[in-house]
Homo-oligomer: A and B are copies of this chain.
């Protein structure tokens, strides 16, 4: 390991330069105008894997391509399936970035760019740790199969088909994903549970075009008012989601888990200040950590209707649209939740307007066995690189692929996050601490060794 550690140190600056090149590529998968950039990012990853000494290829899909790479030269040793994504969230609102989203800039020990932590920076730690082994030892202590996709931020629509078609090829003993966070600075974590998600878009349609609010106001249902009424009806005064049956399948938190969560440091004042909110809000009877990791939600992610310009405009808008996501917890069935949401909204919608309901991706929430042998190997690797043992946590985000790995490939996942949840992922000024990037790369390098010891 000494040679490898030295290689990582000697090449640290080059790794950052290469990461910058990766981050300059505007691989926004949600927006079709960036299609070519998304492909460019795939090619970048492909070249990186080949450069590290792996066999690699671009796998075409109906959407953006999947990069697949492998090295299978360690017969008898475990096979690790490494997943990451090279696509990024849209960068807007653009005017809130201090430096442009796709011009990676280093300040205060961090690299700022869209995708810095989610997930280009994090997936790059594994690419570079593999390179370090291959260039130093000429081999890896485990077999690796890498699946780096370009549609994670839009629901991984073509990934499951790829997994299903390549079940044999992708056979592995364990999966590794670095797309989560440490618990706090210098408090590395292994995430053993994630929330699921359902995403939909609802449109309330009224008159065939915008109408004069003086001439017609009061006699015609206003689609914005009606949409607001629907959304307003999604929560009660105790912060609970009111969709009938929403909580029916939710497993209660165990006393043990609540105690462990409560034992984690949580500075309420710092939390509020960091986010810039005047007070906490959420479901009555649960702590902030419980609300984020283990309770389901229903949030509007965007709303639009009627006049969008400056000044007033006295119209009744023709329609109004909202994008809605629910975060789900283990045992909630996404399809059932979506159906319940649609039924509930349709029941609330008066006949004076029409409701359109469209769904996007969904995936269930889940928890993994926190005491598996691979979990133990990961704990050791992290402790070596970070100098401190990781805490075992859950997270509020969703990584649908981890659910697919379990259901389609029968393999559990180690969720090893090197970033911070304050790194502004999905927000302006996303960044990744360079110290975390380098420690993550080192932990990854040690992980392959520790995993090779698992019998």
Q: How many angstroms from the CA of A402 to the CA of B26 in the assembled complex?
A: 55
Report B-chain residues with C-beta under 8 Å of the C-beta of A232: 225, 228-233
Give a binary string over A275-300; 1 marks a CB under 8 Å from any B CB, 0 the rest.
11111111100001001100111111
Q: Assess whether A13 is interfacial by the CB under 8 Å rule.
A: no
Cβ contact within 8 Å between A301 and B306: yes
Cβ contact within 8 Å between A199 and B314: yes
Q: Assess whether A58 is interfacial by the CB under 8 Å rule.
A: no
Chain B residue at minimal CB-CB distance from A426: B212
Report B-chain residues with C-beta under 8 Å of the C-beta of A307: 90, 92, 301-302, 323
Report B-chain residues with C-beta under 8 Å of the C-beta of A275: 207-208, 211, 216, 220
CB of A214 to closest CB in B, whole Å = 3
Chain B residue at minimal CB-CB distance from A351: B279
Q: Which of B96, B235, B279, B280 contacts A225 (CB 8 A)?
A: B235
Q: Which of B89, B96, B234, B297 contacts A209 (CB 8 A)?
A: B96
Number of copies: 2
Q: Select the stretch in A71-79, A128-136, A392-400 that faces chain B.
A: A392-400
Q: How many angstroms from the CA of A360 to the CA of B313 in the assembled complex?
A: 11
Cβ contact within 8 Å between B327 and A323: no
Report B-chain residues with C-beta under 8 Å of the C-beta of A209: 96, 276, 424, 427-429
Report B-chain residues with C-beta under 8 Å of the C-beta of A90: 307, 309, 313
Q: How many angstroms from the CA of A340 to the CA of B181 in the assembled complex?
A: 46
Cβ contact within 8 Å between B212 and A397: yes
Report B-chain residues with C-beta under 8 Å of the C-beta of A123: none
Cβ contact within 8 Å between A231 and B224: yes
Q: How many angstroms from the CA of A369 to the CA of B197 in the assembled complex?
A: 62
Q: Assess whether A320 is interfacial by the CB under 8 Å rule.
A: yes
CB of A121 to closest CB in B, whole Å = 15
Give a binary string over A165-204; 1 marks a CB under 8 Å from any B CB, 0 the rest.
0000000000000000100000000000001010101000
Cβ contact within 8 Å between A231 and B229: yes
Cβ contact within 8 Å between A292 and B395: no
Q: Which of B279, B323, B352 contacts A277 (CB 8 A)?
A: B352
Cβ contact within 8 Å between A312 and B352: no
Q: Assess whether A127 is interfacial by the CB under 8 Å rule.
A: no
Report B-chain residues with C-beta under 8 Å of the C-beta of A306: 300-303, 323
Cβ contact within 8 Å between A312 and B424: no
> Given A92-B309, A219-B292, A220-B280, do A212 and B299 touch, yes or no (CB 8 Å)?
no
Q: Assess whether A317 is interfacial by the CB under 8 Å rule.
A: yes
Q: Assess whether A354 is interfacial by the CB under 8 Å rule.
A: yes
Q: Which of B31, B217, B301, B350 contacts A299 (CB 8 A)?
A: B217
Q: How many angstroms from the CA of A206 to the CA of B231 in the assembled complex?
A: 17
Q: Assess whether A308 is interfacial by the CB under 8 Å rule.
A: yes
Chain B residue at minimal CB-CB distance from A180: B215
Q: How many angstroms from the CA of A350 to the CA of B239 in the assembled complex?
A: 11
Report B-chain residues with C-beta under 8 Å of the C-beta of A277: 206-208, 220-221, 352-353
* B-binding residues in A (CB < 8 A): 30-32, 89-90, 92-93, 96, 154-155, 181, 195, 197, 199, 201, 206-222, 224-225, 227-235, 275-283, 288, 291-292, 295-317, 320, 322-323, 325, 327, 350-354, 360-361, 395-398, 421, 424-429
**Could you give 5 example pairs across A and B, Cβ below 8 Å?**
A216-B396, A218-B295, A229-B232, A303-B305, A312-B360
